[in-house]
Structure 1
Amino acid sequence: MLRRFCTTLFLAVQPLLAHSAPIDVPVTYVRQKQAPLATLSNLDPRPDDLGTAGAQLALLDNLTTGKFLGHNYKLNLVEVPEDGDALAAVTTALMTSQLVVLDMPAATARAVADLPAAQTALLFNASAPDADLRNADCRANLLHTIPSDAMRADAVMQFARSKRWEDLAMVMGPRPADQRFAAALENSAAKFGLKIDTKLTWDIDADMRRNAAQEVPLLTQSLGDYDLLLVADEADDFARYIPFNTWHPRPVAGSAGLMPKTWSPVVEQWGAAQLQGRFLDEHARDMQSRDYAAWAAVRSIGEAVTRTGSADAQTLRDFILSDAFELAGFKGRPLSYRSWNGQLRQPIPLVTPRAVVTQAPLPGYLHQHSEMDTLGFDQPETTCEAFQ
């Protein structure tokens, strides 16, 4: 399989060999550690190399192509402590590399993009799904490979609309990330002509490992009747206890049941099984959404360097935002970036723990430019002005 992969890459880059020249391409991945959240279950611990593992796999992919072209890729991993100075770390990194992948909260990523030293750099947000970073608080030097909350919410609502599940209810967590995803679901419901009639905030502090069958029915009884129950629990705290425990026998979607994911181990089509296998071989675990976002960021750099023959950040940015850029992302169609807010267009798999149910955009959701622009903020909807 590896030999076939290398052969395919060689054939793809062969036309470029005559124009190739040695280039050094240093990339820095800056991750700010986050305090672990206390959750009801510890069955799914967060890997220590979450995100960085995806960047490292992309580095290997870039090197496979680069060795034919004389392009020398290097990846520098920088980890900032929870109480560390991320701005200082990025400022130092920019002295040696103008290509930086950010794994940090939205506010910090925005502050990084505003650094004087970052104005000529190319930055990738690989972890923050916040809507504001794609709208009023967007930055021209900051692109996004992690899907926005709005993209994932729209995937759920396209599916709900296709099933004619028009009456919705929602349970949301108390954390800010839960509230942001809940707001995205509510906005998306209105966008697709659906309505969230009732909603409530999770406030049960019992041991759900023992009491889910008693507590959840009582909680969801107050929601009345509905077609689909939405759950907004970004920390994966309580959502796992809701399916099959609701008062009414209804489907669940969002953070449990049918889940909109950037990436999932159950994605197998379009060559995804090969990507999954290579990741497993390298890191002895399954690839997760943040790994995929980091992989896409580093691979975007590699694809742009291959096509332009340059490692200049502004040259790469211009090409990446152009119609000529395409990234083979193992999702069934080429990925590209939105020129109005820097978001990577990509399909969103809707999955259960054991299978892909479908992938958004669903059939029938048409768009004059790309069906993938039916997910998230389309150009007429955006309030981002930095890219104009």
Structure 2
Amino acid sequence: MATPFLSSEEYDERAHELYNEGQYDAALDVLREGLNLYPESVELHIGAGFARLAREEYAWARRSFEVALVLDALHEEALAGLGETLLKFGMRDEAMKTFRKILDLGYEDDLDLVLQVGRALFREEMMDEAREFFEVAAREQKDLAEASACLGYVNHRLGNDDAALTHLRRALQLDEEHTEARIYLANILYDRGEYEPALNQLDLTTPDDHWDELGIWRFIELKKSIYKLKDGDGELRPWESRLGELSGEPDDIDEMLADIEQRVLEQEEARDKGQLELFGALLTDLIERKKDDIIEHSILMSDGAEYMGSWEHIVRDMRDASRQMAGRSLQEYMSNEARRGYSLTGVKIPTSDAESFIRGSANAGLLRIVR
């Protein structure tokens, strides 16, 4: 039931608290209640827009922001929300016009808003445009660590690692507790082969600072390779525990997708290959396996585990060592690991054959090929 004693500002504040807690449904319920009483409240329409955006209800979000702009055509937060929504519809030119209007209105000094726009562009892979807004924030406040960190992220994505390292180090000079910048810096150093400096940065973080597995894997690997720590070492236990929390067990959706993918692959193979083609492919594969068996390869995983043998034997051993995928087909295992690797690194890993899968995983930084 609506509570007429609450003002529109109080509804907005209550919804804002719920939004920050990630309770988007509850926030939207509060905003709807408020809008029933105060239909011309710009702030409530903007709040509803961001709640809809978080729920990925982009058409409704766009409508909420557009209503807010009818009520106040120059409202900077409504412009930012509309621009972000337009990006979701692929309307990049229109979104940039909306974002730049914020700057034209003189809101360069609203640093939270400028960074918000930059991050939205970054998420949509519009790196040059994102850098433009991060540079505005850095120019407005030269000692803003978050602006320096964001410039580090975007320069890395643009392939300018030297600039990225400069900005990330600057961010840490301004705020030594900026763990996201420190972890990002460590990963760039690792990718450049600067393993000891990378470990020095990771040593300044705690397991709870990490929200993906890559940095933890690399910390464990470097501790084992540089300091010769053994499996089960007391120093590594908190990191291994955190790794277990982040990786978890595969959920029902992951298993369903793996099952669907495997069935599609099997159907495509059955449809596309005639009996003679299949026989020829199997014969060729047999010859290649014999050749491959003569050459023994070796890889080193991020957790320090080492596998040796032919490419296919290595992948089979990797699968058998996985509690979740043991007993599944090699194709299922490679597809599952390729999805996981992409979520961690943004690098697509091929799964057409064992060698491509291993070389792709090495390119993504998930393992190292010794020979």
Q: Who wins on radius of gyration, i.e. which is larger?
A: 2
- More strand, by proportion: 1
- Bigger relative CO (Cα 8 Å, ≥ 6 apart): 1
- More helix, by proportion: 2
TM class by smaller structure: under 0.3
| TM-score, L = length of structure 1 | 0.25
| TM-score, L = length of structure 2 | 0.26
